[in-house]
Chains A and B, each alone.
Chain A
């Protein structure tokens, strides 16, 4: 083989450069998959199985929104012997009180930017200007 001395190191450098994203991510700590924590309240059951909630919660939220606002169906849902009023603030955040952990950790990881909190109040925001009702 001619020019063995340059071709082989060149090939090695080329392969390293091409695979850069793979090995860089393997050692990088920049984006680690979010760790899942159970809600602090100790509630074990959600309104639907966890796997379904993980994959389909946005669909459920849309259904609830349409039920409550459009179809006038505000009937509460029961899970684990507890009743929840359909709604982000009244149901979800009642258990998952930490929006940063519960919502943001995955949404940031997957680069999803839902507009829920433009209007809806996170537990921490609501607690900052507390009013009992």
Chain B
């Protein structure tokens, strides 16, 4: 009787131990097997297209290339581009940092390329302003945060467009945009517009506005207003980034270009030669 009980307890103990440790043993052996497999599978199949090495989106992808070398020492040319754009799009001129509306404007190097600025920047970078505008990103953060889909990416052209009819003025997009390319209408903009373009609307108080890559001009076969304004120096090239024959691609293939805050992964469509 005693021996039977002792045997019973021994068997029960060993069984319990085996039961508890079994999953651990199975896990250890299977992960060891998996890790030995992994080396081979990684070679066999290249990493699936995820975060890295992603293909550029297909279809027409409009972009802009600003050759700053042609604009150094000519701040009046930057102003000319701004004036042309703002005139065509009925952008008000408000002399107040908080309320001003900008579609395309000039800014120092350190503000334009915040991740590239350093204490020993070249004289050119220190003394010249740079032309900046909406980057019409492939991964636009402003579009992700818009609660009403008032701002959206036009799939046919890659333009990050605004539908002012839907904008509720929450300004999430201004938080989302790392380029400060969006302006909010704190007041009725119409009294601040000197000359009106009768073929383009203005905006109202309480909506956010930004560059539209001159979508309304492109359909008429015209180039964007800023490109046209600087035509004489040819400082801005506009075209389809996905068309290998386009002029913009030809220059992009040849020259070294930079983008604003490329590390953020927004994939801007505006390129700079500095």
Contacts and interface: CB of A to CB of B under 8 A. Distances in A.
Please determine whether chains A and B interact with each other in the same assembly. Answer: yes
A74 B215 CA distance: 9
A121 B87 contact: no
A126 B161 CA distance: 24
A87 to B, nearest CB: 8
B94 to A, nearest CB: 16
Nearest to B163: A69
B193 interface: yes
A128 to B, nearest CB: 8
Interface in A49-102: 65, 69-70, 72, 74, 85, 87-90
A129 B204 contact: no
Contacts of A130: 195-196, 198
Interface stretch (B12-20, B22-30, B133-141, B151-159): B151-159
Contacts of B119: none
A74 B152 CA distance: 17
Contacts of A89: 198-201
Given A119-B204, A129-B193, A133-B88, A70 B198 contact: no
B203 interface: yes
Interface residues of B, number: 27
A129 B202 contact: no
A131 B204 contact: no
A127 interface: yes
B164 interface: yes
B195 A129 contact: yes
A48 interface: no
A128 B190 CA distance: 12
Q: Dominant SS at the B interface?
A: loop
B88 A120 contact: no
B33 interface: no
- The size class of the interface chain A forms with chain B is 20 to 34
B157 A72 contact: yes
A39 interface: no
A37 interface: no
Given A74-B219, A129-B193, A120 B201 contact: yes
Interface string B194-236: 1111111111100000000001100100000000000000000
22 contacts: A69-B163, A72-B157, A72-B215, A74-B215, A74-B216, A74-B219, A89-B199, A89-B201, A115-B204, A118-B204, A119-B164, A119-B202, A121-B196, A121-B198, A123-B198, A125-B196, A129-B196, A131-B195, A131-B197, A133-B197, A133-B198, A133-B199
Given A89-B198, A130-B196, A131-B197, 20 more contacts: A69-B163, A70-B163, A72-B215, A85-B199, A89-B201, A119-B203, A119-B204, A120-B201, A121-B90, A121-B198, A121-B201, A121-B202, A125-B190, A126-B196, A127-B198, A129-B196, A131-B198, A133-B88, A133-B199, A133-B200
